[in-house]
């Protein structure tokens, strides 16, 4: 039971770490997609199939495409694939130190906690149950999420749209 | 060491990788991706506690669904902001986008 988990964990952590160290933005984005797919595999392993497919649809499908478009639209030069300039040593050292401190706090907290009880097998939750929950007790939250998504979409279009004078089709 | 411990260690590792990326990298897109990784680590914790904890049957899954939806909205707005900054300054290095600095 634990062997698939260890493979998934190693794959996810390794691809995320390498993605954050690479200098080429496109390679980083593609490795992060692999890491998100690893997280989806973890959800499958844990028995949350619906969440796993939602993760694949949203992250591996949609967000990765948006990220790749943003990377390609904001390249400094269209022809050469310039590597990013290296961050300064002070910035790297302080960032890594902060992350290491958070990591040590989290590790000690997790390792010092004794966990008793809990389930030994995955709770039986079908998509039908999930739909009933979303349409029943959580219907208000579902509506709020819909409003948030609509507002975020409109806001993203307004922010990213060029100013009216820049649009070529508006020129006389 | 129980499976829940291992899941929590995995999500702590992912969270710290995301935090290190958000703090050290200068490119706005990579900072945003680091934040997405931290959000994913939080979702992973919800699923781990839903699977191995003893709480009510479906709360974790429903919360992760909403969390994924909000993360998608956040990514869309964040990348739109990156594109807007690039249009104004032809650059998305965060050290150089400092007109809002006090």
Q: What is the mean pLDDT of residues A50-68?
A: 92
Does the beta-carbon distance from B40 to A59 stay under 8 Å?
Answer: yes
ipTM confidence: 0.89
Q: Where are the alpha helices (DSSP H) in B25-58?
A: 28-52
| Domains along chain A with CATH numbers | 1-76+126-144+152-159 (1.20.120.1200)
pLDDT at A129: 86
Residue B34 CB burial class (10 angstroms; 0-12, 13-18, ≥19): buried
Q: At what angle do helices B3-24 and A2-21 cross, to 10 degrees?
A: 10
**Residue A132 reports pLDDT greater than 60:** yes
Of A13, A36, A138, the CB nearest to B62: A138
pTM of the entire predicted model? 0.87
| The two three-digit tokens of residue B54, written as one number | 């003893």
Does the beta-carbon distance from A115 to B5 stay under 8 Å?
Answer: yes
**pLDDT band at A163; cut points 50, 70, 90:** confident
pLDDT at A171: 57
Task: Tell me the average pLDDT of chain A.
Answer: 86
Nearest CA among B37, B14, B30 for reference residue B79:
B30
Residue A129 CB burial class (10 angstroms; 0-12, 13-18, ≥19): middle
Residues of B in contact with A24 (CB under 8 A): none
User: Percentage of chain B with pLDDT > 90?
Assistant: 48
**CA separation, residue A133 to residues A138, A170, B53 (Å):** 6, 49, 20
d(CA A54, CA B66): 11
User: Cβ distance A141 to B65 under 8 Å?
Assistant: no
| Domains along chain B with CATH numbers | 3-100 (1.10.287.3510)
């Amino acid at each position: 039971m634990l062997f698939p988990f260890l493979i998934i964990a190693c794959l996810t952590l390794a691809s995320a770490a390498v993605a954050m160290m690479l200098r080429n933005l496109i390679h980083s984005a593609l490795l992060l997609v692999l890491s998100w797919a690893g997280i989806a595999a973890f959800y499958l392993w844990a028995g949350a199939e619906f969440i796993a497919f939602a993760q694949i649809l949203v992250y591996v499908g949609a967000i990765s495409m948006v990220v790749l478009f943003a990377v390609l639209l904001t390249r400094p030069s269209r022809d050469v694939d310039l590597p990013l300039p290296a961050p300064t040593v002070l910035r790297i050292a302080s960032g890594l130190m902060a992350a290491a401190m958070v990591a040590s706090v989290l590790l000690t907290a997790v390792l010092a906690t004794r966990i008793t009880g809990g389930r030994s097998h995955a709770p039986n939750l079908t998509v039908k149950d999930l739909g009933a929950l979303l349409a029943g007790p959580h219907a208000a939250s579902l509506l709020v999420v819909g409003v948030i998504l609509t507002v975020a979409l409109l806001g993203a279009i307004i922010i990213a749209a060029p100013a009216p004078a820049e649009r070529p089709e508006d020129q006389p | 060491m129980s499976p829940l411990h291992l899941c929590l260690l995995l999500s702590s590792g992912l969270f710290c990788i995301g935090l290190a990326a958000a703090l050290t990298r200068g490119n706005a897109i990579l900072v945003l991706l680091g934040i997405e990784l931290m959000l994913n680590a939080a979702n992973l914790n919800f699923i781990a506690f839903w699977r191995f904890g003893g709480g009510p049957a479906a709360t974790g899954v429903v919360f992760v669904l909403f969390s994924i939806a909000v993360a998608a909205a956040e990514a869309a707005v964040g990348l739109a902001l990156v594109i807007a900054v690039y249009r104004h300054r032809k650059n998305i290095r965060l050290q150089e986008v400092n007109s809002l600095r006090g």
